[in-house]
Structure 1
Amino acid sequence: MNPSPSADVGPRQEDAIEAKAFIDLYQAARGQLPDEERFDCVSLQGGCVISLPRAPATGLNRILGLGKTEDLDEAYKWMEGRRGNRFLQLNIDAASDAVKHWVQSKGLIPHGPGWAKLARNADAVADLAPGAVKTRQVLPEEARLFGAMMCAGFGFPEDLAALWSSIVGRDGWSCHYALDGDTPVGTGAMFASGSFAWLGGGTTVPSFRNRGAQKALIYARLQEGLARGVSTFVVETEALSPEKANISNANLTKMGFVHRYNRANFLLG
């Protein structure tokens, strides 16, 4: 039975595994970044609120996975004390009437194209072709390089590399390189918990783009998840728009991912 449109609802499982991944990222990295970065995160009713003001990415400065007005109130108050750009990510189409009214009462409007959530199950993962680009898991002694490559790929300050290097070898995480010969040219990460896994951290060095690295990294993580007993994989990309090509979405679709829903990014004042 579907919930009434007037009733508050909790987070979807696709959002819950993403929130778990970022909560665990925070727990891994909080002792690796200096206090002046003001990196903080709170787990809240299956979702989370996370803030790293110097990080340019929406994913590290947002409210995620909350569907009740009282939880949104708590998260909003927490975010009011933070610096930098701050966002609420919300599937507004599935939100209750109460949550829609809450968004309107705060004067929030969507910012940018929003994010699309895609997912696929484990069926037929073993039948996918690995592609020509080779991959391998990141070794513990390569954690710093992995973090630096992630920062470069996402436009982060280089001195935030410890954020991403902290997950290499950590329980629940799987970190991968795409290779040109023996040289790492792309990155990908996966966080698995129970039967769900979240895929993120997909970057490729500019000189190696459009040569199959990301598809190879998707394949590697699907195979790793299959070995860990994952039955559902989830990932996000920028929402599709007629004005802009979306290579990431195209790669994921070729690997069996299907669109589940969109989340708007509401910029908090």
Structure 2
Amino acid sequence: MDSCSSDQPCLTQEDAIEAKAFIDLHKAARGRLADEERFACVSMNGGCTISLPSAPAIGLNRILDLTKHEDFDGAYNWMRERTGNRFLQVNTDTASDKLTRWIETKGLVAYGPGWAKLRRSTDAVSLPSSGAVNTRKVQPDEAEVFGAMMCAGFGFPESLTALWAAIVGRDGWSCFYALDGDTPVGTGAMFASGSFAWLGGGTTVPSFRNRGAQKALIQARLEEGADRGVSTFVVETEVPSAEKANISNANLAKMGFVHIYNRSNFIL
């Protein structure tokens, strides 16, 4: 068993489930996306490096959840060979002096406000009432529609529809729609492994925003996870600030999620 120390911490389960989700997303989609998309992912002692150059999102172009110092050089060198957006995510509050010096030596500069990691226990508080917005699971024959909605919500090119379509009906994943009548107006996904689950993929069509769709989707996933034996849920949002409202963070707080730490995004 690996030893843990302040200089080389062990990977927490809250971080491990996030890395597992993205590693599995790559496994699901790599054979469905065109070769020219150059979607690639490397698992590294529980963390990973992932790259999808045509996706604008940090989440699909980053080094995340590494704990072993020897992995940082390998991940950095691998990512530098990629194109598109490239980032390293680090909790600088707990980073060792050795890692801090490594970041400085590489000349990496923090980008944007960073990410907040939030957690919720299944039994933390009772769930609020479902409200006026209904939800349902995405059916396998709706995978392409779900993928297209996710791409539109995140500003991805339509060529990446298969990325999100690949997780519909896949073991470990649960995908949901928020509905306006019978019409899907929002999306949400959950990846569960053991007693932990990661939430992501939350989007709402512009004309239906601020009407409770995301809170309904959070609740649907919490209920689904509880039914599957999940005891802890985790999710990430942009770090909120006084200058910029963060509706996602606020919705999660209302649904019982609590902040556990922030990550800085260093641009490569």
TM-score range, shorter chain: over 0.9
Q: Distance in 2 between matches of 1:135 and 1:178?
A: 4
Q: Distance in 2 between matches of 1:206 and 1:88?
A: 31
Matched, 1:121 2:121: yes
Q: Distance in 2 between matches of 1:212 and 1:204?
A: 10
Task: Give the SS at the match of 1:185.
Answer: strand
Using the TM superposition, name which of 126-135 and 31-40 deviates more. 126-135
Deviation at 1:128, TM superposition (A): 2.9
One-letter code of the match for 2:8? D
Q: Deviations over 1:111-155 (max 9, x none)?
A: 000000000001056543212100000000000000000000000
Aligned residues of 1:126 and 1:223 also touching (Cα < 8 A): no
Equivalences, count: 265
Equivalent residue runs for 1:191-202 within 5 Å:
191-202=191-202
Using the TM superposition, name which of 159-168 and 10-19 deviates more. 10-19
Aligned residues of 1:111 and 1:264 also touching (Cα < 8 A): yes
Q: Deviations over 1:33-84 (max 9, x none)?
A: 0111110001111101000000000000000001222111111111111001
Aligned residues of 1:8 and 1:99 also touching (Cα < 8 A): no
**Paired position in structure 2 for 1:50:** 50
Equivalent residue runs for 1:1-269 within 5 Å:
5=6, 7-124=7-124, 127-268=127-268
Deviation at 1:10, TM superposition (A): 2.9
TM-score normalised to the size of structure 2?
A: 0.97
Q: Distance in 2 between matches of 1:114 and 1:70?
A: 24
Aligned residues of 2:127 and 2:219 also touching (Cα < 8 A): no
Q: Which runs of 5+ in 1 are unaligned?
A: none
One-letter code of the match for 1:117? K
Q: Cα distance 1:125–1:226, how it changes in 2: closer, same or farther (>3 A)? A: farther
Aligned residues of 1:68 and 1:99 also touching (Cα < 8 A): no
Aligned residues of 2:153 and 2:205 also touching (Cα < 8 A): yes
Aligned CA-pair RMSD: 1.1
Deviating 4+ runs (over 2 angstroms): 124-128
Aligned residues of 1:144 and 1:165 also touching (Cα < 8 A): yes
Deviation at 1:98, TM superposition (A): 1.1
Task: Give the SS at the match of 2:109.
Answer: coil
TM-score normalised to the size of structure 1?
A: 0.96
